[in-house]
Structure formats: C-alpha cells, structure tokens
C-alpha cells in the first residue's frame, strides 16, 4: 500500500509559514508565505502539512480586538494568550488538536515518517522554545503547541520540535536544514498510536 511516487515523509508547519495573512495584525514579515522556508521544504520532497491557525479558529482574524496592532507585539500576544485560555477558545482548541493528532496517527499507522513539527517562537499559540506571557517573550511553549505535545506524548509519539522566527532568516533556514537532515522517525518502534485513543 502507498507504493507510488510519494516520499512518505512529512513536516508539520505552523499555519502562518504558508499563510502570513492569518497572523495577528502588525506581525506579518512576508506578503504571503515565508518563501525561503517553503522553498527549502519543497526541495526536500517531503510533504508539508499545514497545521490550523488556532488563534484564527478560536478568536477570529482580528483576535477579538481591532486595535491589536496599536500595542507592542508581546503585549498584544499576552492579551491573545489570555483570550485563548477562556472556555470557548479552550474547547475549540481541543477540537483542533484532536483533528491534527488523528492525521498524525493515520500517517504513522501507514508507515509514514513525521520528520518534525515547526512552530513560530514568541507566538502565544505556536511557540516552541519561547512564547509571550506577562507582556514579554519568555521561555516556554504556546498554548496550541503545549496541548499538541501532551496529546502526542499520551500516544507515545515522539518527533523533533523546532521553533523559528520569520525575521531571523539565516537561523531559521539552518534549523530547517538540520531537521531535514536528521530524518528521524517520529514513532517509537512497536508503538501503535491508534490503540491509545
């Protein structure tokens, strides 16, 4: 099964890597996609899985405040993080995580390799190494990444996690190249994610 031309290798990327139009007002570094990252991923011939934008799904494009761009980024990000912790957003976030975990389970069940998950550092939702809290950038994970990681760990699914910043092109490309060169399998031998639902 699945013995055609597909590489059976995947990288999951934060939504805004492919669609900068989705991010909070005042924070886009590119008009469309983070083109250098997308180009590198395309050259690697791995599949690119665009994760959902949790903030867009939970709070809307304006993140619930049309004046968001008037505040410093980390201040607005802290407001967004606080909004994402409210009950309606938490419920919507869990639905997104479950849907994404189902996709990952399906790929792994059929012998595909998830090379890694790429988040956006400083993001209140998709930060991997840093996030925004208390009006500053701090070490830690965004709310979506935190929930996704917990769900994958419950299923004994392990993969590489990297956080990038669109404005730091050189460091970002080195991180992506390193991820692609490792080609680690995201599943522990013998683990069956489907049995852990």
Domain membership of residue 108 (yes or no) is yes
> Which range marks the domain in which residue 78 is found?
9-192
Do 111 and 154 touch, CB atoms closer than 8 A?
A: no
The pLDDT confidence band at residue 184, using thresholds 50, 70 and 90, is: very low
Give 126-174 pLDDT, tens digit per residue: 999 999 999 999 999 999 999 999 999 999 999 999 999 988 989 999 9
CA-CA-CA-CA dihedral for 72, 50, 188, 130, to nearest 10: -10
Task: Tell how strand 130-133 and strand 136-139 pair up.
Answer: antiparallel
Domain membership of residue 197 (yes or no) is no
Nearest Cα to 11, choosing from 162, 146, 173, 189? Answer: 162
Whether the pLDDT of residue 1 is over 70: the answer is yes
Domain membership of residue 22 (yes or no) is yes
Domains held by the chain: number: 1
Nearest Cα to 14, choosing from 112, 133, 135, 161? Answer: 161
Cross-sheet strand order for the sheet of 47-50: 47-50, 9-13, 113-120, 160-164
Domain membership of residue 65 (yes or no) is yes
Over the chain, what is the mean pLDDT? 91
Give 113-125 pLDDT, tens digit per residue: 999 999 999 999 9
Q: How far apart are CA 42 and CA 24, in angstroms?
A: 26
Helix (H, G, I), strand (E, B) or coil at 74: helix
């Amino acid at each position: 099964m699945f013995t055609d031309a597909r590489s059976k290798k995947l990288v999951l990327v934060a939504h805004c890597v492919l669609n900068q139009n989705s991010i909070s007002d005042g924070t886009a570094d590119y008009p469309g996609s983070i083109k250098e990252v997308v180009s590198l991923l395309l050259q690697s011939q791995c599949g690119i899985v665009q994760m959902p934008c949790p903030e867009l799904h939970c709070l809307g494009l304006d993140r619930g405040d049309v004046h968001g761009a008037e505040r410093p980024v980390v201040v607005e990000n802290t407001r967004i993080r606080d909004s994402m912790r409210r009950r309606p957003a938490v419920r919507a976030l869990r639905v997104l995580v479950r849907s994404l975990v189902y996709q990952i389970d399906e790929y792994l069940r059929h012998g595909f390799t998830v090379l890694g998950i790429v988040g956006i550092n400083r993001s209140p939702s998709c930060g991997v190494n840093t996030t925004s809290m208390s009006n500053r950038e701090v070490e830690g994970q965004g709310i979506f990444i935190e929930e996704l990681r917990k769900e994958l760990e419950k299923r004994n699914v392990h993969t590489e996690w990297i956080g990038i910043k669109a404005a730091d092109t050189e460091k970002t490309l080195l991180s992506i190249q390193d991820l692609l060169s490792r080609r680690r399998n995201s599943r522990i031998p013998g683990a069956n994610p489907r049995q852990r639902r």
